[in-house]
Amino acid sequence: MILNLSNFLVSGILAIMLFFSFTIAPIIFKSLDEKNARNFIRNIFPYYYFINLILSILVIIFFVSMNFYGLNFYLILSVAILFAFSQFILMPMINKFRDNNETKKFNYTHGVSVVINIIQMVFLVIILI
């Protein structure tokens, strides 16, 4: 039962990430002018990271309650840590670099956030197989 719930939550995290990355973000930049798109992204990303962080922590709690400390435990732990890092460290840096017109630093940190997202999605797929 708990394992099924864990798989459901992992699937949910992956679905949120895929939907946001391939549907929401592109539509935002096609539908809104740059200023409003930026404002919207800054407001939605904290929710994106927070919801996924909470769901990841729930999976960790379920694994701990089952005394399951295999590969999947460490993968979901990594996913959660990366969500926390992205929300509390990386996003503020990205916003600061964008606000200060530090294009190279913005591009680098944004690129790091994209790579982190891809790594997280790969980890989630591995957990599900």
Q: What is the pLDDT of residues 49-96, one digit of tens each?
A: 999 999 999 999 999 999 999 999 999 999 999 999 999 999 999 999
List, for residues 19-45, the tens digit of each pLDDT value: 999 999 999 999 999 899 999 999 999
Q: Could you tell me the residue range of the domain that residue 40 belongs to?
A: 2-128
The average pLDDT across 117-122 equals 98
Q: Which two tokens stand for residue 62?
A: 């379920």
pTM of the entire structure? 0.94
Which has the closest alpha carbon to 53: 76, 69, 31? 76
Whether 3 and 120 have beta carbons less than 8 Å apart is answered as no
Q: Cα(32)–Cα(77) distance, rounded to whole angstroms?
A: 35
Q: Cα(120)–Cα(13) distance, rounded to whole angstroms?
A: 10
Whether 3 and 66 have beta carbons less than 8 Å apart is answered as yes
Domains of the chain: total:
1
List, for residues 99-119, the tens digit of each pLDDT value: 999 999 999 999 999 999 999
pLDDT of 1 above 90: no
CA 58 to chain centre: 15
Most distant CA pair in the chain, distance? 50
pLDDT of 3 above 90: no
The average pLDDT across 14-20 equals 98
Q: Cα(3)–Cα(5) distance, rounded to whole angstroms?
A: 5
